[in-house]
């Protein structure tokens, strides 16, 4: 029965391997492109960016005149009785009166204390901020995609390590059973190797479940069918990073959060100018063309018609606008100062975060070299233990310990590579280095 279970397990693993070969390998670049094209958050950000661009025009800033056309037609019926000083009188029952009026009017604020120019600058800055926010959202999404992608590679490596351990333990189990048949082994050796094999098989099933769930998570980021099946490479590529000083300088120039605060500060300055415009008078120009015509069946005039252009200029200055403009200006300046303080605080946080992550990145690089040497030693130790066991000079326990140690070293090496890649992604993201 136990042998039947192992045969079933072997065929299950074989089935998984064939199914994996039938899947396509998802390249990181393809995943990033698909995510940037389909992710809902990015699509919403792009729509908001388009809204800001559409709103950025001279009309919304108040620079253009308003032109309107009017037309009115009236017809009234009145019972009219007129008595004159001469003693004569005039009675007109159901007398009709017709009137028509039309015209074009233009109203343009020629000067409003420079508010329109400040408003146009603000609209430009809002559009710039929207574009920067979209870039920031794209950087954040790519950071999440890369983190999830390399997390999948880490799980695949763990699965490969576990499968290798299962293969080694299977070979030791078969050898222990062969020794038991010829009388040079014991049932204890067979049971111990079987126990280890069962434990590794259970670990493999759990890792495959974690891998399936992680793939669903990445598919969600890419906004595609959660059941979409794919493969990832088995290796984590290495990269060369700039120095800490260069990363810090890049971050202070290119970090998207700093860029957003820089734009916010400029928007605050434009708003201050808009508030200051209330301290100046405003000048309005008007022009128009009117046509009036009326006809009456009773009264002094049978008909009346007038038409012609008109032009005018008016000025207005609020002696008391109903609020304290100086306080409004002071509040706007305080908002600007708060943005400056936020930026200084963010810059300090970024410098500290970069220093911590860079130190971690370097330490993991050193640890990677140590674990690589440890793996070489562990592989030699496992091969030697197997050879000694075959010749009867080592116990199955010693072989299992060697296999277990090699498995641990491989897992540590995989974990170090993954953690170093995460540190690299975070360093690039903070420094504003494009990840897409």
Model confidence at 18, pLDDT cuts 50, 70, 90, reads very low
- CA atoms of 366 and 384, how far apart (whole Å): 28
Q: Domain boundaries in the chain?
A: 2-62+113-280+321-431, 67-111+282-316
| Per-residue pLDDT, 165 | 87
pLDDT band at 178 (very low <50, low <70, confident <90, very high): confident
pLDDT value for 97: 84
Q: How confident is the model at residue 301 (pLDDT cuts 50, 70, 90)?
A: low
Round the average pLDDT of the chain to a whole number and report it: 88
Of the listed ranges 91-95, 188-192, 353-357, the least confidently predicted one is 91-95
Chain length of the chain: 436
Q: Which is more confident, 95 or 146?
A: 146
| Assigned token pair, 148 | 């999830």
- From 209, 81, 222, select the one nearest 145 (Cα to Cα): 222
Q: Which CATH number fits domain 2-62+113-280+321-431: 1.20.1600.10, 1.10.3720.10, 3.30.300.10, 3.30.420.40?
A: 1.20.1600.10
Residue in 87, 75, 100, 88 with CA at minimum distance from that of residue 297:
75
Element (H, E) at 172: helix 115-182
Task: Indicate whether 190 pLDDT > 90.
Answer: no
Q: What is the pLDDT of residue 88?
A: 74
C-alpha distances out from residue 412 to 210, 237, 250, 304, 357, Å: 18, 17, 32, 100, 20
Q: Say which residue, 3 or 286, is predicted with more confidence.
A: 286
Is the pLDDT higher at 323 or at 111?
Answer: 111
* Helices 2-22/187-221 angle, 10° precision: 30
Q: Return the number of other C-beta atoms located less than 10 Å from residue 146's C-beta.
A: 21
pLDDT at position 1 is: 43
Name every residue whose Cβ is closer than 8 Å to that of residue 214 and which is 6 or more positions away in sequence. Answer: 148, 151, 152, 155
């Amino acid at each position: 029965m136990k042998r039947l279970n192992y045969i079933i397990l072997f065929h299950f693993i074989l089935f998984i391997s064939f199914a994996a070969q039938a899947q396509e390998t998802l390249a990181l670049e393809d995943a990033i492109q698909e995510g940037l094209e389909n992710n809902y958050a990015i699509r919403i950000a792009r729509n908001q960016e388009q809204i800001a661009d559409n709103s950025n025009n001279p009309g919304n800033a108040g620079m253009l005149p308003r032109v309107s056309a009017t037309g009115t037609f009236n017809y009234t019926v009145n019972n009219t009785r007129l008595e004159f000083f001469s003693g004569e009188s005039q009675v007109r029952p159901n007398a009709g009166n017709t009137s028509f009026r039309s015209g074009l009017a233009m109203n343009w604020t020629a000067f409003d204390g420079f508010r329109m120019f400040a408003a146009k600058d603000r609209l430009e800055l809002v559009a710039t901020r929207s574009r920067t926010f979209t870039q920031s959202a794209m950087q954040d999404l790519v950071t999440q995609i890369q983190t999830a992608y390399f997390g999948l590679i880490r799980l695949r490596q763990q699965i490969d390590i576990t499968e290798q351990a299962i293969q080694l333990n299977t070979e030791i189990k078969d050898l222990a059973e062969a020794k038991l048949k010829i009388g040079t082994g014991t049932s204890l050796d067979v049971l111990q190797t079987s126990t280890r094999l069962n434990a590794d098989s259970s670990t493999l099933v759990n890792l495959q479940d974690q891998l399936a769930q992680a793939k669903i998570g990445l598919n969600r980021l890419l906004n595609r069918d959660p059941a979409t099946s794919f493969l990832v490479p088995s290796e984590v590529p290495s990269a060369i990073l700039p120095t800490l000083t260069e990363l810090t300088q890049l971050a202070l120039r290119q970090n998207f959060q700093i860029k957003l605060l820089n734009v916010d500060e400029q928007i605050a300055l434009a708003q201050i100018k808009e508030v200051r415009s209330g301290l100046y008078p405003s000048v309005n120009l008007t022009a128009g063309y009117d046509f009036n015509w009326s006809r009456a069946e009773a009264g002094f005039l049978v008909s009346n018609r007038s038409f012609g252009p008109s032009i005018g200029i008016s000025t207005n200055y609020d002696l008391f606008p109903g609020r304290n403009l100086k306080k409004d200006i002071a509040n706007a300046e305080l908002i600007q100062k708060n943005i400056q303080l936020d930026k200084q605080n963010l810059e300090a946080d970024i410098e500290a975060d970069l220093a911590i992550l860079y130190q971690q990145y370097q330490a993991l690089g050193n640890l990677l070299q140590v674990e690589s040497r440890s793996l070489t030693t562990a592989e030699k130790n496992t091969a030697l233990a197997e050879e000694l066991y075959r010749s009867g000079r080592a116990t199955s326990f010693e072989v299992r310990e060697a296999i277990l140690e090699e498995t641990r070293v491989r897992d540590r090496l995989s974990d170090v590579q993954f953690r170093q890649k995460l540190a690299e992604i975070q360093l690039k993201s903070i420094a504003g280095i494009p990840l897409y």
